[in-house]
Amino acid sequence: MTTANKSAAKDTAFTTRPEIVGTFGVVASTHWLASQTAMGILEKGGNAFDAAVAGGFVLQIVEPHLNGPGGEVPIMLWSEKEQRMRVICGQGPAPELATSEYFKERGMELVPGIGLLPATVPGAFGAWLTMLRDYGTMTLAEVMAPAIGYARDGFVMLPRTVQAILAVQSLFVSEWKGSAEVWLPDGQVPEPGKLFQCPAIAKTYTRLLEEAAVTGAGDRVRTIDAALDVFYRGFIAKEIDRFYTNEAVRDTTGQRNTGLLRYADLAKWQATYDEPYTVEFGRYTVAKCGPWSQGPVMLQQLSILKHAGLEKFAPDSFQFVHTVAEATKLAMADRMAWYADPLFSEVPMADLISDAYGRARFDRIGELSAKLLDPGTPGGRPVKLPDLEAPARTLKISDTRFGVGEPTFASLPPVSEWAKKEVFIGDTCHIDVIDSDGNMVSATPSGGWLSSSPAIPSLGFSLGTRLQMVWFDEGVPGQLQPGKRPSTTLSPSMVLRDGLPYMVFGTPGGDQQDQWSCEFFLRHALYGMNLQEAIEYPAWHIDHFPISFWPRTLRYNQITMESRFPEATVEALRQAGHEVKVGAEWSEGRLSACSREPGLNGALLLRAAANPRGMQGYAVGR
């Protein structure tokens, strides 16, 4: 790396907040209350797994526009005791009633983006409790107490949450009456900065704990198993079945439809453990979830970019941005062509993340921007793509007044009804934790967004809508099949350095998650930026693929960059054929990260950083 490029990296030495450094424990998340809750659990003697679960449940309450009790979560963990990485899949599958024929018979070419039809089995609860049972030390009541307290006693409503509610107020009032009960108390939109309560969720979780405590009879593990039974086979599952069977709600078809999720779908599901996939990048081993997630995209990016010699270029230069953007186009094309639930589809992961394939894909990067999709043929396999014209046909006949999929859910009302003129961006949450023993957790909870499916009044929360990510085309990897997981965009990250556990990180952002994560990692690994510097450095994302969310529209060759990039870089990208959109100064990503490394006398030196973008993420530690 040249002196000039080292200097370019160090231009970001001033950051809006410090990189947190300590030895006792560190947490970083997308909301300060979740971060402090998790840190509080560490202070009480809990480990990283206890802390992450407690923080995850708080995120469900304080960021309800971004996740909820009925959502999903992929979790990556490092167990210091077992000296191993593991993945917990909290992405539930399609209901048994969900078939392509069902939707086609009703004139649909895509699963709607909102309503009841796109629900999968809610996996977040099962995933969090599986980790708590198998790796935690605290009781379920202890780790759920902070979330129940915020739901019962109140939490400060974020301006962005209020924006989300305001955007769909008319839908709640006219159609989704249960959501109006939960989110429009006394018929009024909540005020930002004021305390807001979710009494129905507090009641649901309190009843769950009470029933589980009776069965568990004071035993920690038995109580957690009993709580899983209550959620997936008890009163919660029964109420979900009743609502989804009998209630007909309006969605993007313009019609009122009942749901497909049933008691039997929940009763037979449980969270599962996977081994992560990895790619070597210099002294680093980068680990991600499997192809039921978006995770392998980052592995493919790195397997391509390891051949690029990026260290020769400044991290805000045309050469760096162009090369990474073009590698991302190739990886995202492969995501569309090959990723799926590996229990149902043959996904050639070994070929996709191999050095040889990465080199061959790197050779396809030219001096000009690619204008078309370019999926590869790993192992010589032929590519079969879905009908990419279906989204345009669907959009022409759809009712989009009340929202689409994610991340915007619905258009904001006129500016006269909202004082701040900005686009609401809602998507997902993230939390990272490392304790003094070196246990690490990275989790990206999402789904159950208040704006995208109606709240079940008796429970107080909505379910997820991930089924919108499937295709109906026969024989494509992402084809809808009963019991099959849709390929989620959710993508936590874990890294080893010199073979030792080192870092956990991630971000909300839908299709952008592994783009922002890859940029962050490269800035840290290649240019020596600390965690906070790497998070705050100017970022970008590309759009050059069918979006994962309804209406699955396809956009080519667009790159959106923060305005802090040099004008010369922006102009050079345009000259190379990129369609450049310059966004606000701090508009790309909501990354957080934690790391560990050897300290003195056997202790670990722990670091954490969080994102100023969005003005709610925070890192804590000591």
**Domain containing residue 565:** 3-18+274-386+488-621
Domain presence at residue 155:
no
| Secondary structure E strands in 152-231 | 155-156, 195-196
The sign of the CA dihedral 99, 100, 104, 105 is negative
The pLDDT value given to residue 412: 42
What are the pLDDT digits (tens) for 312-331? Answer: 999 999 999 999 999 999 99
Alpha-carbon distance of 431 to 492, in angstroms, equals 9
Q: Which helix (H) or strand (E) holds 100?
A: helix 100-105
Alpha-carbon distance of 47 to 37, in angstroms, equals 13
Looking at residue 325, which CATH number applies to its domain? Answer: 3.60.20.40
Residue 13 has pLDDT above 80, yes or no: no
Percent of the chain beyond pLDDT 70? Answer: 94
Residue 78 has pLDDT above 60, yes or no: yes
Residue 407 has pLDDT above 50, yes or no: no
What are the pLDDT digits (tens) for 506-527? Answer: 999 999 999 999 999 999 999 9
Write down the number of H helices and E strands in the chain.
21, 21
What are the pLDDT digits (tens) for 422-471? Answer: 333 457 999 999 999 999 999 999 999 999 999 999 999 999 999 999 99
State the average pLDDT for the chain. Answer: 94
Total domain count, the chain: 1
What are the pLDDT digits (tens) for 113-164? Answer: 999 999 999 999 999 999 999 999 999 999 999 999 999 999 999 999 998 9
Domain presence at residue 607:
yes
Domain presence at residue 599:
yes
Domain presence at residue 321:
yes
Q: Which residues pair with 244 in a beta bridge?
A: none
Domain presence at residue 62:
no
Domain presence at residue 558:
yes
What are the pLDDT digits (tens) for 334-346? Answer: 999 999 999 999 9
Domain presence at residue 575:
yes
The token pair at 424 is 């609401």
Domain presence at residue 88:
no
The pLDDT value given to residue 408: 44
Residue 554 has pLDDT above 70, yes or no: yes
